[in-house]
Amino acid sequence: MEKMKAYMVPNAADNGIEGIREATVKGNFSEEAWAYIQKLFPKAKIKGNCLTYDMGATSLYFQLCDTPRLSVELKAIISNKEIQGKSFEVENLRVVL
């Protein structure tokens, strides 16, 4: 296990990824789930079907959708212009560089 830990090191900094600018969680939330999210983030602003929470350098969005699937999109803060505009997906997570 110790040998594996040496290889399991995040490489975000090496690739010029400095953080997350926006995180958007899209889902067909039940009324109960939507109320719970609002309790978790009482200072969040609600506009239409979107709840927005400002965390300083990062904005967190919860968006009500008709699709019965939960998806997450992260928009990264990058310094490496070679990767700007690229994206990748893993299951229901999309990362935009």
Per the CB < 8 A criterion, the answer to whether 63 and 50 are in contact is yes
The domains found in the chain, sorted by start residue, are 16-96 (2.60.40)
Instruction: Write out the E strands in 1-97.
Output: 17-27, 45-47, 50-54, 59-64, 71-78, 87-90, 93-96
Tokens 């079907």 belong to residue: 49
pLDDT digits (tens, 9 = 90+) for 63-80: 999 989 999 999 999 999
What was the pLDDT predicted at 1?
Answer: 65
Length of the chain (residues): 97
The answer, yes or no, to whether residue 41 has pLDDT greater than 90, is: yes
